[in-house]
């Protein structure tokens, strides 16, 4: 079940990185 936790954390970080990227892009 550790995989789900890791996947969730990775997805959360990915969303933050994408959000920051879009903010800087604009």
Confidence of residue 23 (pLDDT cuts 50, 70, 90): confident
Confidence of residue 14 (pLDDT cuts 50, 70, 90): very high
Q: Which tokens hold the place of 17?
A: 């990185």
Q: Which tokens hold the place of 25?
A: 């892009």
Buried/exposed 2-18: b ≥16 CB within 10 Å, e otherwise: eeeeeeeeeeeeeeeee
Residue 15 has pLDDT above 90, yes or no: yes
């Amino acid at each position: 079940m550790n995989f789900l936790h890791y996947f969730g954390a990775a997805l959360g970080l990915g969303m933050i990185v994408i959000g920051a990227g879009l903010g800087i892009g604009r």
